[in-house]
Amino acid sequence: MPAISFQSISKTYPSPKGPKGTTFKAVDNVSLNIEEGEFFGLLGPNGAGKTTLISMLAGLSRPTSGSVQVLGSDVQSDFADARRKLGVVPQELVFDPFFNVREMLRIQSGYFGLKNNDAWVDELLEGLGLADKANANMRQLSGGMKRRVLVAQALVHKPPVIVLDEPTAGVDVELRQTLWQFVANLNKQGSTVLLTTHYLEEAEALCGRIAMLKTGRIVALDKTSDLLKAASSNVLRFKTADMLPPELAARARITGRIVQLPANNALEIENYLAAVRQAGVTVDDVEIRKADLEDVFLDVMNQQGAQA
């Protein structure tokens, strides 16, 4: 039985542009099974439909069509069971400012009918670096700390399926590492994890399988290692302050002075460098590196753009 099963699920919203009454599909006929014990990544640009998909999974938003089950429990017809099996860390920070951290976690435990949950609450506070903030009021916490509380809140009932919607947005490096250690450990012990993030390095390091979403549709779905294998194998990277010739600029990923060009073989790299020399462009810090998930992501998104 899959941990999470989306079946031909769609969500239609009123269209912000176009005449009144027109609609668009934020999620467009997505079918996807995530197996028990997987660490699964859901990636996609802003507005791709990741949070919409997760809202339907969490039962916070009703699918326009299709269905979703958590470990066999249908989110619509069997909400209480589905909800109990699921821990969701939402993208948006929403809190009751009047409670302190420990109270919040106690209330959440009570919501799931858990008494004597203090040992696990302490473990969560410790594991997420919140122990010294246990008695702090929610509004006294910084943004990153609030996000840690959201994570603790999602895990309070030890759900077998954990969903994290951009849990590391605005979180400092140290906590990112603590958080990932904590979640990876839960995954090792058998929890299924579904993660969305814009930090592709994190996704590459953590996720065994990845789906990429664009305008509500799955445009890539594979093991992380296979996605990486299918991409151009290498990237030529250099710095320059000069204008690139247009045929290179069209293929390059340019960030300030850094230029990165996908290359499948040594000949392509030679050709790039020859073109640069011919154009009289001065380059610095030349290096060749293996393609990473960010390269794959950009490849997939661009291909899909060209077809659309």
Ligand X SMILES: Nc1ncnc2c1ncn2[C@@H]1O[C@H](COP(=O)(O)OP(=O)(O)OP(=O)(O)O)[C@@H](O)[C@H]1O
Q: Which residues bind Mg ion (CB under 5 A)?
A: 50-51, 91
> Is 112 a residue that touches ligand X (CB under 6 A)?
no
Structure tokens of 158? 């030890």
CB atoms within 10 A of CB 95: 15
d(CA 284, CA 188): 44
AA identity, residue 50:
K
Query: From residue 74 to residue 103, what is the string marking binding to ligand X with x (rule CB under 6 A)?
Result: -----------------x------------
- The stretch among 43-51, 62-70, 98-106, 252-260 that binds ligand X (CB under 6 A) is 43-51
User: Closest distance between ligand X and the C-beta of residue 176, in Å?
Assistant: 18
Q: Which does 111 bind (CB under 5 to 8 A by kind): Mg ion, ligand X, none?
A: none
Closest CA to 33 of 63, 52, 65, 8: 8
Query: Of 3, 4, 9, 26, which lies in the binding site for ligand X, with binding defined by CB under 6 A?
Result: 26
Q: DSSP 3-state assignment of 286?
A: strand
Lookup: tokens for 111: 């919501």
Is residue 51 a contact point for ligand X (CB under 6 A)?
yes
Q: In this complex, which beta carbon is closest to ligand X, that of residue 105 or of residue 203? A: 203
Q: Which stretch binds ligand X (CB under 6 A): 42-50, 110-118, 152-160, 229-237?
A: 42-50
Phi, psi for residue 193 in degrees, rounded to 5? -125, 130
- Fill in the DSSP letter of residue 137: B
Among 4, 32, 48, 179, binds ligand X (CB under 6 A): 48
Q: Is 203 in the site for ligand X (CB under 6 A)?
A: no
Q: What is the DSSP string of 176-226?
A: HHHHHHHHHHHHHTT-EEEEE-S-HHHHHHH-SEEEEEETTEEEEEEEHHH
Half-sphere exposure of 92 (CA within 13 A, CB side): 6
Does the footprint of ligand X cover residue 20 (CB under 6 A)? no
Residue 189 sits in the site that holds ligand X (CB under 6 A): no
Residues that bind ligand X (CB under 6 A): 13, 26, 44, 46-52, 91
